[in-house]
Amino acid sequence: LTEARRRPGPRRAVTESDMLDAARALLDAGGPDAASIRRIAAAMSVPPNAVYTYFPDQAAVAHALVERLLGQVDRAAARSGATGWRRRIEALAVQLRSRLAAHPGLVPLLFGGRMDGPHAGALREKLLALLAEGGLADCEAARGAHAIVVYVLGAVAMEASDAPHVGALPPELERIAARRVAYAAAGDAFPRTAAAADVIAAWIGTDQFVWGLRRLIDGLAGPELP
Amino acid sequence: LTEARRRPGPRRAVTESDMLDAARALLDAGGPDAASIRRIAAAMSVPPNAVYTYFPDQAAVAHALVERLLGQVDRAAARSGATGWRRRIEALAVQLRSRLAAHPGLVPLLFGGRMDGPHAGALREKLLALLAEGGLADCEAARGAHAIVVYVLGAVAMEASDAPHVGALPPELERIAARRVAYAAAGDAFPRTAAAADVIAAWIGTDQFVWGLRRLIDGLAGPELP
DNA sequence: ACCTGAACACCGTTCAAGT
DNA sequence: ACCTGAACACCGTTCAAGT
């Protein structure tokens, strides 16, 4: 927008996009707290306060990181060839989940801000459109969209909090094993929880995520007709 | 457990419980980042490193805060007189939500750790038992319980992220107004989102929370028979 | 066993100064 | 307009020393 009229002073040494790339790399390598202003600055070989030329504060960096990720989801889901509004919603959600699973350090930032950027709005708009396509009245669609967002972000947050706080999520098999151990430790005190240990293999990963999402959608619109 | 055999040295100046009280008061007054080790220590009038006599690190403080809050939910929900397994699950979830709504600064801590304490286990166990009471097979109950936990924590996290980062949540009417403004700003770019502004009054608060939860439970167990 | 002062390596942000 | 060095007020954690 106001990009064209920068006149005096030297050219910007780096771009906002470069900084966000560096921030995400730091999050991937060091976990949710690794994308400090000072580390981003060090990665760009500028003094810490130079970052404030590009972003007003740390929250703005986080907001931009979230927006950029949501933008990638939007585009990827648009390419999806899934037919039917239920499958399209699932595809949208699965895209978001897999994007975030690749960068779990970014997940806590989702809840730090308001997710009110244009890409967030576009995703919400698409979700509302798909629910309308499913025949939901405006009120049910609005409330249903909110419930779906809550489920998707909650699932992603829980998965990220299960993972070690550094790097990408470990392979699903490893996480399954870790879960199994944790629940076996529940022992006699919580028999149902311990008994559920065998089901846990299905808990983690895309399967459980989609399973729960489908049940929620069924609750919103009724079970799918065969 | 090992409480009895502390022999030499002076009596502990304060208790763990005192420290957790101070930490929660700091969170309430200053938002999610206010419960620093140094501020807790200052509130107890001890040097910062004295905290490490009680907790091994900051994560342990957060874990204890979460466990303590989950314990309060457990007891409060047990007293609930709601009849029927669906209403009992709702009562459990509403209790948890209202406990956390009173201390939104604590919400981010839920996703920082693993929620593997005894009170967390007791809640999960109760949820599994209620789903079994509803006739769900073990596998469906296990997966359904996870989906419900995801929904409840996701809803709480989204509500907390909407709030200003300090103090308790503002009255619901104020939050409704803020939401209305935010969505009106969506304007022409996102017509459905803007059109949903009128529904937003219902989005926030216990009503929307229970509405979505009921839809999820309906998806898990089928709609309630009248 | 509990508590302490002092230090280490961080952190976000601001300010006045340079070009 | 952009970049810089220096500083301010924090932070979690560790260490050696006291009782």
Out of A66-80, B37-51, B160-174, least confident range = B160-174
Q: Which of A170-184, A206-220, B5-19 has the lowest mean pLDDT?
A: A170-184
Which amino acid appears at position B147 of this protein? A
The backbone torsions φ and ψ at residue A25, rounded to the nearest 5 degrees and listed phi first, read -65, -40
Give yes or no for CB of A180 within 7 Å of strand C: no
The CA distance from A124 to A210, in Å, is 19
What CA–CA distance (Å, rounded) separates A109 from B208? 24
* Separation in Å, CA B135 to CA A26, A220, B81: 47, 21, 21
Residue B143: how many other CB atoms lie within 10 Å: 23
Confidence of residue B18 (pLDDT cuts 50, 70, 90): very high
Stretch 114-153 of chain B: residues touching chain A, C-beta under 8 Å: 114-116, 118, 121-122, 124-125, 128-129, 132, 138-139, 141-147, 149-153
Q: Give residue A226's pLDDT.
A: 73
In B, minimum Cα distance to A187 occurs at B121
CB contact under 8 A, B121 and A186: yes
CA distance B120 to chain A (A): 11
**B134 vs A20, A34, A203, B210, B216, CA distance in Å?**
48, 45, 20, 18, 14
Residue with tokens 């403080």: B61
Q: What is the pLDDT of residues A116-146, one digit of tens each?
A: 889 998 999 999 999 999 999 999 999 999 9
Interval B109-157: pLDDT, tens: 999 988 988 999 899 999 999 999 999 999 999 999 999 999 999 999 9
**Can you tell me the distance from the alpha carbon of A13 to that of A46, in angstroms, rounded to the nearest whole number?**
9
Q: Return the structure tokens found at B8.
A: 């030499």
What pLDDT is attached to residue A49? 96
Report chain C positions within 7 A of protein CB atoms: 1-7, 10-16, 18-19
Footprint of strand D on the protein (CB under 7 A): A 6-14, 46-50, 53-54; B 9-10, 36-39, 48-49, 51-52, 57-59
Nearest-by-Cβ selection for A158 from B153, B189, B200 = B153
State percent of chain A over pLDDT 90: 63
A75 pLDDT tier (thresholds 50, 70, 90): confident
Q: How far is A158 from chain B (nearest CA, A)?
A: 6
CB of A37 nearer than 7 A to strand C: yes
pTM exceeds 0.75, yes or no: yes
Contact A220 B219 (CB under 8 A): yes
Q: Would an 8 Å CB–CB cutoff place B154 in contact with chain A? A: yes
Residue B8 Cβ under 7 A from any strand C atom: yes
